Amino acid sequence: MATVVSVSDGGIIVGKPKWRPLENEGNLALLLLLPTVALLLMFIAYPFVRGILLAVTNSKVGVIGDFVGFENFARLLKDPIFHAVVYNTFLYTFVTTVFKLILGLWLALLLNRDFKFKAFTRAFILLPFIVPTVLACFAWKWMFDPTFSVINWMLFKLGIVAAGAGVNWLGDGDMAMLSIMIVNIWRGVPFFAISLMAGLQTISPDLGEAAAIDGAKPLQRFWYITWPLLMPVTMVVVLFSVIQTFSDFQIVYVMTGGGPANATHLFATYAYQLGIGTGLLSQGAAVSLAMFPLLFAIVIFQLMYIRRVETR
């Protein structure tokens, strides 16, 4: 049999389990988690420590630097481009998140109805989110081209702009910021819409009907029933999106490269320009790490929120 037995008094046998270390939950968990923990330690924890070490030295590519304390951060505080970066990043994150939420919610409400080709429509709507961002950005860049812009042609045909006086989408600082915001919103709306739609589907239609019988008008039904019940999903989606947008790189890198005249630099693109472009690794690492406090605050907030929702 499967057991080794020892006979004690009175003919009673004490069953002794075979030696199977993986039947112990702790041991099995250790084994299962080993590859994950090893990879994450090597490629997340270690780089994080290295990043901090880089940020407090004056290393350049190929040159191991000396310890300089907080000099890199002190320099950033005096750097006008960094000031612009902070302003740009907050503005970019705030404006796009607001629009993504409004448009995404609207689209989710539209998608939540029954109509022909619903599955088909839903599948197509996610395309901006799944296609490689860099490649999609090239399509936008081509649509924003100063000379050949199809968007300007549309505005021209609608009589909004005159021939030869089109919108200088990527050449003007403010318009460039607007352009990258449009692209970010374009890419983010599908994610908001699909996630919020999933949230909407968990809300029983009975509630809306009960409220309708109680005399609530559509807007009231949305405000008093749908919106509060959707709140947990909305919070998570917004926080995810804020993290992604705050640390965005690809859209700006392709559309404007941070220009014109640093008008659209974000943390990530500025860090890239300093650290990889000019080889000032330490300063680049310092710019990247400057994102950390806010990201950390968002993560803590999110964890607390999830815990609150779960224990409710």
Partner 1 sequence: MIEGAIWRRWVFFRLPMAIFLIFLLFPFYWMIITTFRPDGELYIPWYRANYKPFWTWNPTTAHLKYLFGETTFAIWMWNTTFIAVVATAISLFCGVLAGYALSRLNFRGAALLGTTIFVTYLVPQTLLFIPLSEIIRAYSLGDTPWSLILSYPTFLIPFCTWLMMGYFKSVPKELEECARIDGATRWQAMLYIIIPVAVPGILSAMIFAFTLSWNEFIYALVFLSSPEQKTVPVGVISELVRGDVFFWGPLMAGALFGSIPVAIAYSFFVEQYVSGVTGSVKG
Partner 2 sequence: MSNVTIRHVHKHYADFHAVKGISLEIKDKEFVVLVGPSGCGKTTTLRMVAGLETITEGDIMIGNKIVNELPPMDRDIAMVFQNYALYPHMTIYDNMAFGLKMRKFDKAEIAKRVNNAADILDIKEHLSRKPRMLSGGQRQRVALGRAIVRNPKVFLFDEPLSNLDAKLRVQMRVELKKLHQRLATTSIYVTHDQVEAMTLGDRVVVMKDGLIQQVGEPLELYNNPANKYVAGFIGSPAMNFAETVIEQVGNAVYATNPTMKIRVPEQIAARMGPHKGKPATLGIRPEDLHMATGADPEELSFDAVVEVAEQLGSEIILDLKAGGGAMVASVEPTVKVKPQQKIRLGINPRGLRFFDAATEAAI
| Residue list 15-74, contact with partner 2 (CB under 8 A) | 15-18, 20, 23
Residue among 15 and 228 whose Cβ is closer to partner 2: 15
Q: Write down the least CB distance from residue 10 to partner 1, Å.
A: 28
Give the one residue of 36, 69, 78, 80 binding partner 1; rule: CB under 8 A: 36
Q: Which two tokens stand for residue 31?
A: 């084994």
Q: Write down the least CB distance from residue 234 to partner 2, Å.
A: 33
Distance CA(259)–CA(261), nearest Å, equals 5
* Residue 295: HSE in the Cβ half-sphere, 13 Å Cα cutoff: 13
Distance CA(44)–CA(51), nearest Å, equals 10
- Applying CB under 8 A, the span of 5-13, 138-146, 152-160, 214-222 interacting with partner 2 comes to 5-13
282-291 b/e (C-beta count within 10 Å ≥ 16 → b): bbbbbbbbbb
- Applying CB under 8 A, the span of 38-46, 68-76, 81-89, 91-99 interacting with partner 1 comes to 38-46
**In whole angstroms, how large is the CA radius of gyration of the chain?**
27
Please count the residues of this chain forming the interface with partner 1, following the rule CB under 8 A. 104
> Which of the choices partner 1, partner 2, none does residue 217 contact, using the CB cut-off of 5 to 8 A by kind?
none
Question: Strands, E, within 11-78: which ranges?
Answer: 13-16
Give the one residue of 210, 231, 276, 297 binding partner 1; rule: CB under 8 A: 276
> Which of the choices partner 2, partner 1, none does residue 291 contact, using the CB cut-off of 5 to 8 A by kind?
partner 1
Distance CA(263)–CA(281), nearest Å, equals 23
- Applying CB under 8 A, the span of 77-85, 93-101, 122-130, 168-176 interacting with partner 1 comes to 122-130
Give the one residue of 97, 152, 262, 264 binding partner 1; rule: CB under 8 A: 152
Distance CA(43)–CA(61), nearest Å, equals 20
Distance CA(151)–CA(168), nearest Å, equals 11
Give the one residue of 76, 84, 105, 136 binding partner 1; rule: CB under 8 A: 136
User: Nearest Cα to 191, choosing from 130, 245, 235, 249?
Assistant: 130
Positions touching partner 2 (CB under 8 A) are 1-3, 5, 11-18, 20, 23
